[in-house]
Amino acid sequence: MKVKRIVANFETKKISAARRFYEKVLGLEVLMDHGWLKTYGSNSKMTVQVNFASQGGSNTKVPDMSIEVDDVDEAYRRMKKARFKIVYPLTEEPWNVRRFFVLDPFGRTVNILEHL
């Protein structure tokens, strides 16, 4: 048996609130829309990973989700322009990632990162 995909599921009554953050700012596509469930994603091949952590690194809170991008500076600029709340500044970490934490429309902490 082989795991083919891992999907994060977040409960919300305001599904439409995801559009601005995940589609408009991050550039994800709507892959499925059943009305009661909307899936944002990319058809790019990705690595399957699940993290278990006692802290988020650099003594931060463990983020609810991590999203790796190819240009973290551009992602940061877009989040600031869209006025999403940055809760951990753009930082180059000692483990060779550059990242920031931002609150999504549902109050979840999202770690946006780029490997250096």
- How many beta carbons lie within 10 A of that of residue 2, not counting itself? 4
Q: For residue 62, what pLDDT is reported?
A: 98
Task: Tell me the per-residue pLDDT of 73-116, one tens digit each, with 9 for 90 and over.
Answer: 999 999 999 999 999 999 999 999 999 999 999 999 999 999 99
In-domain check, residue 98: yes
Which DSSP letter does residue 18 get? H
Whole-angstrom distance, CA of residue 24 vs CA of residue 109: 18
DSSP 40-66: EE-SS---------SS-STTPPPPSEE
In-domain check, residue 6: no
Whole-angstrom distance, CA of residue 67 vs CA of residue 26: 9
Q: For residue 54, what pLDDT is reported?
A: 97
Percentage, residues of the chain above pLDDT 70: 100
Number of domains, the chain: 1
pTM of the shown model? 0.93
Whole-angstrom distance, CA of residue 35 vs CA of residue 76: 30
In-domain check, residue 52: no
- Looking at every residue in the chain, the average pLDDT score rounds to 96
pLDDT greater than 90 at residue 46: no
Would you state the structure tokens that stand for residue 73, as one six-digit string?
């500076």
The CATH number that applies at residue 79 is 3.10.180.10
Q: For residue 4, what pLDDT is reported?
A: 86
Q: How confident is the model at residue 3 (pLDDT cuts 50, 70, 90)?
A: confident
Domain that holds residue 111: 15-43+58-115
In-domain check, residue 49: no
In-domain check, residue 63: yes
pLDDT greater than 90 at residue 25: yes
In-domain check, residue 23: yes
In-domain check, residue 4: no
8 Å CB contact between 98 and 114: yes
Within a 13 Å sphere around the CA of 6, how many CA atoms are in the beta-carbon half? 9
In-domain check, residue 94: yes
Q: How confident is the model at residue 9 (pLDDT cuts 50, 70, 90)?
A: very high
